[in-house]
Amino acid sequence: STPRENEPVNVQIVRQVEYYFSPGNLAKDAFLKSNMDPSGKAPIELVAGFAKIKALTSDLAVVVKALRSSSQLELNEDDTRVGAASTSVASPTLKRLFSAVEDSA
């Protein structure tokens, strides 16, 4: 997804992070997947450190505020982790994936 210069920064942040957590991107993003917990969330600091987000803002509070506005993303209770909203397609698959790993451990 390409940034659209005339859009507000928060809209660009949301679009980019929604892309990161889309099933299509997660299928090939081993780094992001390796940093996700069993609920499918990754540290916001990690995501905010990605080049395309850092190009928009270096202010973590701006990132958190933007992500809160997304219907496709959800944050954990203390706003330190973000992932696809549990209504999304990715979550049941991730839960099965993690439970399969736990069962074989």
Query: What 8-state DSSP symbol labels residue 87?
Result: T
Please report the pLDDT score of residue 76 as a whole number: 95
Mean pLDDT within 13-29: 96
pLDDT of residue 6: 81
What predicted TM-score, i.e. pTM, was given to this entire model? Answer: 0.77
Model confidence pLDDT, tens digit, residues 47-102: 999 999 999 999 999 999 999 999 999 999 999 999 999 754 444 555 555 555 55
Cα–Cα distances in angstroms (integers) from residue 39 to residues 6, 7, 52, in the given order: 34, 31, 24
